[in-house]
């Protein structure tokens, strides 16, 4: 017998979209949790062959781990057509470690949590591929959303400004979103904040940066083309971050946050 799909009442839907930044899905507003989920025995999700490979594998594994019941994802969730939604009669604090066990080494960083929702990024072959979202429906009920992350178009490669070192990797300020907060102070100055580190103020064209009441010598000179910050990947060490080469670029890790990007090499 084919699996029956159910639709959650709008009272338990997540409000707003699940806009994804380069590194993480924005945590949606907490859903009201007044209506119970459908009264049916949990069944393992069977995902159609057209579903995204990573989403398909995660959905089957997570459904088994949390005894999930397959639901039709309502339009109000604003997820992609590839998304899979599951309902489980388990609290979020039980579902979260079960999902983490299924994702295993494919997880990018750790859970991002708020009062009513948690999200986890998932990589495939070194690239961001999907995310898992958990939302409280009630103290003993959880909605699980597994969706693919659509690749963004590659940013236009800026013209090489004066002072660029050929063969070296550079990053736009947008590449650092999610791991380093970049604030344009004007006049070629930028303030960079990484988790657990004192803010670093840099000046385009200078290796000398300011931190607290002192100065720091950067390995390479940060640059700008007049519009974009071109931050050398080598300078990330000064922010306490690590850089790991991957098949399609690099992975930047700052504290517990990480992101995979393709740097600019002139």
Domains: count for the chain:
2
The verdict on 205 and 143 lying in the same domain is no
The CA-atom distances, in angstroms, between 14 and each of 7, 73, 206 are 13, 11, 47
Q: What is the distance between the alpha carbons of residues 105 and 122, in angstroms, rounded to a whole number?
A: 9
Q: Give CA torsion, residues 63, 64, 65, 71, to 10 deg.
A: 20
Q: Does 164 map to a domain?
A: no
The verdict on 80 and 185 lying in the same domain is no
Asked whether residue 44 carries a pLDDT value surpassing 50, the answer given is: no
For the stretch 109-145, pLDDT in tens is 889 888 778 999 999 888 889 999 999 889 999 999 9
Asked whether residue 152 carries a pLDDT value surpassing 70, the answer given is: no
Report the CATH number that the domain containing residue 238 is assigned in CATH.
Answer: 3.30.457
For the stretch 77-97, pLDDT in tens is 888 888 999 999 999 999 999
The verdict on 173 and 144 lying in the same domain is no
Q: Does 24 map to a domain?
A: yes
The residue with tokens 């990007």 is 261
* Helices 53-66 and 92-103, axial angle in degrees (round to 10): 130
Report the predicted TM-score, pTM, of the whole model to 2 decimal places: 0.45
The residue with tokens 């517990």 is 256
The verdict on 52 and 133 lying in the same domain is yes
Percent of the chain with pLDDT strictly greater than 90:
52
Domain residue limits at 259: 169-265
The verdict on 42 and 119 lying in the same domain is yes
What pLDDT score was predicted for residue 241?
94
Asked whether residue 24 carries a pLDDT value surpassing 50, the answer given is: no
What pLDDT score was predicted for residue 53?
87
Q: Does 89 map to a domain?
A: yes
The verdict on 141 and 14 lying in the same domain is yes
The verdict on 33 and 118 lying in the same domain is yes
- Per the prediction, the chain carries an average pLDDT of 80
């Amino acid at each position: 017998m084919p699996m029956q799909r159910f639709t959650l009442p709008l009272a338990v839907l997540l409000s707003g979209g699940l806009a994804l930044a380069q590194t993480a899905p924005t945590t949606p507003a907490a859903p009201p949790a007044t209506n119970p989920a459908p009264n049916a025995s949990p069944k393992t999700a069977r995902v159609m062959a057209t579903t995204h490979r990573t989403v398909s594998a995660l959905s089957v594994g997570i459904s088994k781990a949390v005894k999930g019941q397959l639901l039709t994802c309502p339009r109000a969730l604003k997820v992609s057509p590839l998304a899979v939604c599951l309902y489980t009669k388990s609290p979020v604090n039980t579902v979260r470690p079960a999902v983490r066990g299924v994702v295993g080494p494919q997880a990018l960083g750790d859970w991002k949590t708020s009062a009513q929702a948690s999200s986890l990024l998932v990589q495939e072959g070194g690239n961001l591929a999907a995310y898992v979202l958990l939302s409280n429906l009630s103290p003993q009920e959880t909605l699980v959303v597994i969706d693919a992350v659509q690749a963004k178009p590659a940013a236009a490669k800026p013209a090489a400004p004066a002072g660029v070192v050929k063969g070296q990797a550079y990053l736009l300020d947008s590449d650092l979103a999610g791991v380093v907060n970049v604030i344009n102070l004007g006049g070629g100055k930028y303030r960079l904040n990484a988790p657990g580190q004192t803010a670093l103020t840099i000046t385009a064209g200078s290796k000398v940066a300011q931190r607290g009441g002192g100065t720091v010598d950067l390995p390479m000179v940060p640059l700008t083309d007049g519009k974009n910050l071109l931050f050398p990947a080598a300078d990330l060490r000064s922010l306490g971050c690590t850089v790991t080469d991957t098949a399609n670029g690099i992975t930047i890790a700052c504290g517990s946050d990480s992101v995979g990007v393709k740097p600019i090499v002139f």
